[in-house]
Amino acid sequence: MDKNIFLLLGILIFAMRSHAQSNCSCANPITAASLNTLQVFFAPFPTERLTATINYLASSTNFDFLCLQELWDPAMRNQLLIGVNATYPYSVVAPIQAQQCQPSCNSEEEMRLLGCVIPQNCVIEGGGLDDVFQCARTECGGVIDSLSGDCKRCLLLEGIFDLEDKIRECGGFNEDLSDSCQWLYNGSSDALLLSPTPFNQTDFLIFDASPAVVISVVYGQKIINDHVVHAFCTHSSADLPFLNSQSANDQQAVQLLQWVQTKIPANSTDLVLMMGDFNHGPAFSVPSISATFPEAYFTIVNGGFNDALFRIGQNNCTFCSNNTLQLEVERSGDLIIDHIYVNVNASYCVANGSRFATINEVNVTIPGQDNVSLSDHYGIKASFCLNPGGLAASSGVPVTPEPLETTTAKRMVADYVILAEYDESIAAKRQIFLGLAFMLMTVMLMT
């Protein structure tokens, strides 16, 4: 009798959970997605991955809003726009920003820095960019801190593998001043918002805090199913050597919220989506997720927004150690730095949400390489049902991150590497084990 009671309780819990996960549905949900494409100058296999990304997005997706990041090169961006035009013929991107190229470090700064990094042998890239930057920060931290912002910014731009040569370029001792410009990629930004239908309104903003590269947010507004929907697509600053990236990320979060308020009518219940690679996120204990710039995340949350996937119990990493293009970072766990934020005062429910473009779903065929990921980030997607009568319960049980007071942020130091191997057999074996354990428990309860 007791065993039967346990079996009935198990069935009841399963039924209740199934019901909880199906209480938000509608005929035509609004869909949104975000994906960092990793089209940066130092990332491997850019041509092959761009082609695979275009094919995947054009044939396997159809979102109302699609936010892409790291399409810095206008030629690559145009190639993608042409390739996905049949699915996403409408787009918003910030125009290229004008800039001047001139020596960024004065002679005194140059001599002080060379006088430190050369004796300490912090000049030639050997085991990775991390070795050069870590050496420079450890041995010459005081000198670096005293440099001007423009000088620090120049040191991060293209051609950084020989730090001594880089310092001379930034000081104007070399004829080529291309690396002494204000921004990398000739002032081009990377955030791209795509849509299968026309936008009613579009706009862009260049963040005041834009170290090393142009950091933008692009905006598109549409009417879907007789409802006004506002979409913002951005890519906030990552943690970079020599720069106070945390301050930049915090400032961008504040400025983003302020700009959103200029687009949304006062007391409006319009659906507002803020999507992208924010390079910030909270910590979770289950699963193990490390925090990155959590102050900026809580700035967004306290500003009236929630992470859509957290609302339905989805807190899987988006920047994950099982990704074959993973950054080698100084951290103790996986990260959630890609978000689809949604305003809390709109009448909606989250019908569904998950990652996409994972290593298990799509990978790139490269001769001599196994299971190359599409990007170092996994994409995220969510669907929403609008409820004019009030806020309905979203599907699934919400997850709550660790509070800021108990969170220790892990600063990232990037060095792109191809992981030697990726073995999916561990995950497969785990699933088999759990399945057998469940079957065995069921048999025991019924006997």
Pairing of strands 30-39, 379-386: antiparallel
Give mean pLDDT, residues 24-52.
91
pLDDT of residue 435: 47
The answer to whether residue 392 scores a pLDDT higher than 50 is yes
Task: Select the more confidently predicted residue: 200 or 157.
Answer: 200
Can you give the CATH number for the domain in which 377 is found?
A: 3.60.10.10
What DSSP element (H or E) covers 39? strand 30-39
Residues 124 and 193 in one domain: no
Report strand pairing: 348-356 vs 289-290: unpaired
pLDDT (0 to 100) of residue 401 = 93
Interval 265-287: pLDDT, tens: 878 889 999 999 999 999 999 99
Tell me the two tokens of residue 251: 């400032």
Task: Report pLDDT for 430.
Answer: 36
Which range marks the domain in which residue 163 is found?
Answer: 107-180
Q: Per-residue pLDDT for 243 more than 70? A: no
**Quick one: pLDDT at residue 426?**
30
Q: 139 with 196, same domain?
A: no
Q: 390: alpha, beta or left, given left = phi > 0 and alpha = psi -120 to 50?
A: left
pLDDT at site 116: 85
Would you call 22 exposed, middle or buried from its count of C-beta atoms within 10 A (0-12, 13-18, 19+)? Answer: exposed
Q: Which of 127-131, 179-183, 310-314 has the highest mean pLDDT?
A: 310-314
Whether residues 172 and 192 share a domain: the answer is: no
- Of 262 and 429, more confident: 262
Question: How does pLDDT run across 78-111, given as a tens digit for each residue?
Answer: 999 999 999 999 999 999 887 767 777 887 888 8
- In this predicted structure, what is the pLDDT of residue 236? 95
| Position 264 in a domain | no
Residue 159 vs residue 31, higher pLDDT: 31
User: Across the chain, what does the average pLDDT equal?
Assistant: 79
Is residue 426 in some structural domain?
A: no
Does residue 398 share a domain with residue 361? Answer: yes
Q: Which residue has the higher pLDDT, 332 or 402?
A: 402
pLDDT score of 17: 38
Instruction: List pLDDT tens digits, range 401-443.
Output: 998 877 755 444 333 332 222 233 333 433 443 344 444 444 4
Amino acid at 4: N
Residues 394 and 280 in one domain: yes
Closest CA relative to residue 255, chosen from 204, 205, 298, 182: 205
How much is the pLDDT for 330? Answer: 43
Does one domain contain both 349 and 320?
Answer: yes
175-192 residue pLDDT tens: 455 555 667 788 899 999
CA atoms within 13 A on the CB side of 59: 7
Q: What pLDDT is attached to residue 136?
A: 78
- The answer as to whether 446 is a domain residue is no
pLDDT at 40 over 50: yes
Q: pLDDT tier at 246 (50, 70, 90 boundaries)?
A: confident
**325 and 395 share one domain:** yes
| Domain identity same for 169 and 317 | no
Mean pLDDT in residue range 150-172: 68
pTM of the model: 0.77
Residue 284 forms part of a structural domain: yes
Q: What pLDDT, on the 0 to 100 scale, is given for residue 257?
A: 97
The answer to whether position 425 is within a domain reads: no
Q: Is 124 helix (H, G, I), strand (E, B) or coil?
A: strand
Report the number of distinct structural domains present in the chain. 2
What does the alpha-carbon distance between residue 54 and residue 56 come to, in Å, rounded to a whole number?
A: 5
Degrees, nearest 5: CA angle 105-107-111: 100
pLDDT, residue 131, reads 65
DSSP 3-state of 303: coil
Based on the domain organization, do 344 and 239 belong to the same domain? yes
Of residues 134 and 268, more confidently modeled: 268
Write the DSSP assignment of 135-204 as a string of letters: HHHHHHHHHHHTS-HHHHHHHHSS--SBHHHHHHHHTT-SS--GGGBSSGGGG----EEEESS--SEEEE
Of 11-20, 202-211, 336-345, the range with the highest mean pLDDT is 336-345
The whole-number pLDDT of residue 235 equals 97
Residue 262 lies in a domain: no
* Confidence class for position 168, pLDDT limits 50, 70, 90: confident
259 three-state secondary structure: helix
pLDDT value, residue 316: 96
Residues 169 and 287 in one domain: no
**SS3 (DSSP) at 53:** helix
Asked whether residue 347 is assigned to any structural domain, the reply reads: yes
Nearest Cα neighbor of 319 from 341, 346, 298, 337 is 337
Based on the fold, state whether residues 55 and 128 are members of the same structural domain: no
Establish if 388 belongs to a structural domain: yes
Query: pLDDT at position 408, please?
Result: 59
Asked if 67 and 170 sit in the same domain, the reply is no
Q: How confident is the model at residue 240 (pLDDT cuts 50, 70, 90)?
A: low
Q: Residues 6 or more apart from 224 whose CB is under 8 A from it? A: 30, 64
pLDDT of residue 447: 47
Torsion over CA: 234, 238, 242, 245 (sign) = positive
Evaluate whether 343 touches 271 at the Cβ level (below 8 Å). yes
pLDDT confidence of residue 347? 87
How far is the CA of 395 from the CAs of 20, 360, 437, in angstroms?
Answer: 6, 24, 27
